Amino acid sequence: MFDLKLQYIATWVRDRGYASVALQLPEGLKLRATEIVDFLTQETEANYVMLGDPCYGACDLFINYSSVADALVHFGHSPIPSQGDDPNVLYIEADMPLDIQDKLEAVLSDLGMNVGLLATVQYLNCIPQAMEILHESGRNAFVGDGDARIMYPGQVLGCNCTAAYSIADSVDEYLYIGEGDFHPLAAAFGAGKPIKVFNPVTGELRSVDEVRDRILRRRFAAIVGGQEAQSFLVIVCSKVGQNRNGLADELVDLIRSKGRIAYKVFMNELSPQNLLHYRVDAYVCTACPRIAMDDALRYDRPMLTPPELEVALGVREWDDYVFDQITS
């Protein structure tokens, strides 16, 4: 069970005397939203409002919270330091304290001698124990610092694996502690080293090679679609941590310099329905890189990332394919 630190939130609200507080939760935690409001209402004098729009990361922070409340509690993600600090915003990272001793020891023989440790914020608390276990087994364990988009050593976001790149020269492979494919894939594409995924709940250790190859095949198909496209819609997202308007302008110039047609669109929520009416051959997404990677099949036209557009237009070699990243 993720630790939502409700008593800590109540103390923060009481001590600061907020009359109203907005609560922003990712989809996976919304099931607990009413429970959170019930608890905090009982413990404090404040009124609470739940923010109903989808929330995908701290990149999606509701910066206009003052239009509905005095303060904001954002659940499920760590701060993104480069987005700045607001004393009226509290981040509750909702980590999951776990003892991984037996599970990690059971798969140690599958690990190399120089291992880089990575995790999403929910499982960063497993890294010190994993380091200790690796050291005791005679292995070297490394934890890297990310750029200004990354809050903690070893932390990866789906759009930023700089914590992996900073130790790439020291490691033979990475051990990613967590679930899912997207975060380890970002490291696998960028760092050029093998990556193994260790699920700290089930103890499963697996490779992402097969998923990586499947995604690459799909991405190459999208790039071929981009090569044939005559007109592109370059998408800019208004979310505070996804807005790459400057990059979008550069891409528009690049497309036009190749004799093709480019349009730019600015929107908050990207969806197949929101793009349906634009009469173009392909999309270029400067918002969250997950959209092109995870959701591309939902869109009716090829959806390219910025580096994929470069390949499609012949200014980047196919061999130089890189995962799209949002850096500090």
Dist CA 117 CA 164 (whole Å):
8
How many Cβ atoms from other residues are within 10 Å of residue 173's Cβ? 16
- Which of 154, 226, 241, 306 forms a contact with ligand SF4 (CB under 6 A)? 241
- Site for ligand SF4 contains 92 (CB under 6 A): no
- Site for ligand SF4 contains 59 (CB under 6 A): yes
Fill in the DSSP letter of residue 155.
B
- Which of 18, 48, 56, 165 forms a contact with ligand SF4 (CB under 6 A)? 56
Residue type, 324: D
Q: Which of the stretches 97-105, 153-161, 297-305, 307-315 binds ligand SF4 when contact is defined by CB under 6 A? A: 153-161
- Which of 154, 158, 178, 184 forms a contact with ligand SF4 (CB under 6 A)? 158
Q: Nearest distance from residue 83's CB to ligand SF4, in Å?
A: 10
Which of 145, 151, 148 shows the shortest CA–CA distance to 168? 145
Q: Nearest distance from residue 288's CB to ligand SF4, in Å?
A: 3
- Which of 130, 143, 151, 157 forms a contact with ligand SF4 (CB under 6 A)? 157
Dist CA 155 CA 132 (whole Å):
18
Q: Nearest distance from residue 98's CB to ligand SF4, in Å?
A: 22
- Site for ligand SF4 contains 141 (CB under 6 A): no
Residue type, 94: A
* Comparison of 78 and 125: residue with beta carbon closer to ligand SF4: 78
Residue type, 140: N
Q: Which of the stretches 53-61, 167-175, 246-254, 305-313 binds ligand SF4 when contact is defined by CB under 6 A? A: 53-61
- Which of 104, 127, 159, 234 forms a contact with ligand SF4 (CB under 6 A)? 159
Dist CA 60 CA 303 (whole Å):
21
- Site for ligand SF4 contains 73 (CB under 6 A): no
- Site for ligand SF4 contains 57 (CB under 6 A): yes
Q: Nearest distance from residue 324's CB to ligand SF4, in Å?
A: 10
Residue 199 burial (10 A CB sphere; 0-12, 13-18, 19+): middle
Strand ordering across the sheet containing 173-177: 140-142, 114-119, 173-177, 195-198, 205-207
Q: Nearest distance from residue 122's CB to ligand SF4, in Å?
A: 13
Dist CA 224 CA 242 (whole Å):
26
Strand 282-285 with 47-50, pairing: unpaired
Task: Answer yes or no: are the C-beta atoms of 201 and 180 closer than 8 Å.
Answer: no
* Comparison of 103 and 290: residue with beta carbon closer to ligand SF4: 290
Dist CA 41 CA 18 (whole Å):
12
* Comparison of 24 and 242: residue with beta carbon closer to ligand SF4: 242
Strand 205-207 with 231-237, pairing: unpaired
Question: Residue count at the site for ligand SF4 (CB under 6 A)?
Answer: 11
Please list, in sequence order, all residues whose beta carbon lies within 8 angstroms of the beta carbon of residue 84, skipping any fewer than 6 positions away.
Answer: none
- Which of 155, 162, 242, 305 forms a contact with ligand SF4 (CB under 6 A)? 242
Q: Nearest distance from residue 93's CB to ligand SF4, in Å?
A: 13
Which residues are near ligand SF4 by CB under 6 A?
56-57, 59, 157-159, 241-242, 288, 290, 326
